[in-house]
Amino acid sequence: MAEIGHTAIGAWSGGRVMHFGEPLPDDRLEALLRPGVDINTIVTADVYADGEADGIVGRSIKGLPRDEFNLVAMIGHDFYNGIRRGSSGYPRFTDPDLRGPDGYRDYLFMALEKSLERLGQDHVDLLFLHNPDRVGYTSDVVWKAMTDIRDEGLADMIGVAPGPANGFTLDLIGCLENYGDDIDWTMVILNPFEPWPMGMALAAHEKYNVKVLARVLDYGGVFHGDLPDEDKLVEGDHRKYRPAGWVAEGKRRLTEIQPIADRHGLTPLQLSAQWTLAQPAVQCVVPTFIQEAGPMHKTVEDQRRELATTPRETLLTPEDIAEITRLGDNHGCMTLKGGTPGHEGPQMPDSWPMAADLDAVAERWGIDPAADLVRLH
């Protein structure tokens, strides 16, 4: 197994399985996703385009020496038996309408085996439990099955990837407290303009020696440096559903930190990578490569080259990191998912009320849910 490097490629890039920018044709997308000496790690998820992402990745890695790249997979949404619920997507495999705890293990093994078939591989280097619900974070049955997958050689390492939206801070910390001896990695949203809320969970990663793969490095394309205005985004682009004004605000913040990038000879994307890799426990970063519409925009191939040439050693000074953190502060800017005091109503697949175990997690880690986990503006 090749060592997971400090940069990775996401199969959601290229506009095909997730609608960011213009969709790439097959040959160009497969070339973009193909791991190599520049970036040796590719991340996919079985639910992306109902398995299509796995197939694209499988074609991109076909014929490559297996010890020269790392394959990261994710399973957890049941698109085999579940019914898609609009923008909420497919249900988690732990949905009680689909199965009870006695069916969790069989599902996880089945889902991974089908993913491996599409990928044309016999194992993955790292397997994430993808976007778990409350049960996924807390079930002994789920995590025994995940460790069994590793023990049986279908995955070299295992982990958890909260999402798809931001939040799940206490849930993730609680999961690490309960299963941190078995968990190798997590994948979380973290970048200079989104240090909150996952920044509060990094100390727990250090305590339990769990590595972080940070996603959304590009912050919706802002750090690629050529993001169109909101009204110029192509129809159907996921970014159109973000709060109004986010593009202008992102560009304003980028202008403020640009002098730091210039001082170190870094592009905005490289600056984002450097700041993120300087955070505790973060070992790898992955952006979305986005081909914006129009000939004047940066190519996804150039975006990949920028990421690949990002120095692993931190060029930023402690003062630079502190200044970027100050300028990028997003505390209280959104309603978080997972267990939060802001949740109203019954438990949902991606949001649920606070409970005694989460209150105890918050107290142990010095987190004040009423101040630290709610929308303030």
What's the topology of domain 9-315?
TIM Barrel (3.20.20)
Neighbours of 276 (CB within 10 A): 24
**Contact between residue 46 and residue 73 where contact means Cβ atoms under 8 Å apart:** yes
Task: Give the long-range contacts of residues 227-231, CB within 8 A, separation 24 or more.
Answer: 227/251, 227/292, 228/292, 228/293, 228/294, 228/297
pLDDT band at 147 (very low <50, low <70, confident <90, very high): very high
Instruction: Select, from the ranges 78-92, 116-130, 284-298, the one with the highest average predicted confidence (pLDDT).
Output: 116-130
pLDDT band at 22 (very low <50, low <70, confident <90, very high): very high
Q: What is the mean pLDDT of the chain?
A: 96
Measured distance CA(355)–CA(204) in Å, rounded: 20
pLDDT band at 1 (very low <50, low <70, confident <90, very high): low
pLDDT, tens digit (0-9, with 9 covering 90-100), for 167-207:
999 999 999 999 999 999 999 999 999 999 999 999 999 99
The percent of residues above 70 in pLDDT, for the chain, comes to: 100
Domain boundaries, the chain: 9-315
Complete DSSP assignment for 260-309: HHHHTT--HHHHHHHHHHTSTTEEEEE------SSTTSPPHHHHHHHHHT
pLDDT, tens digit (0-9, with 9 covering 90-100), for 59-70:
999 999 999 999
Measured distance CA(53)–CA(46) in Å, rounded: 7
Q: How many CA atoms lie within 13 A of 37 on its CB side?
A: 0
Strands (E), the chain: 9-10, 41-43, 70-75, 124-130, 155-161, 185-189, 211-215, 282-286, 338-339, 351-352
Its sign, for the CA torsion 311, 328, 285, 10, is negative
Compute φ and ψ for 239, nearest 5 degrees.
-70, -15
For residue 171, what pLDDT is reported? 98
Exposed/middle/buried for residue 359 (C-beta within 10 Å: 0-12, 13-18, 19+)? middle
Dig out the tokens for 134 from the structure: 């409350």
Q: By mean pLDDT, which of 9-18, 125-134, 229-238, 309-318 is the weakest?
A: 229-238
pLDDT, tens digit (0-9, with 9 covering 90-100), for 223-241:
999 999 988 898 889 898 8
pLDDT at 2 over 80: no
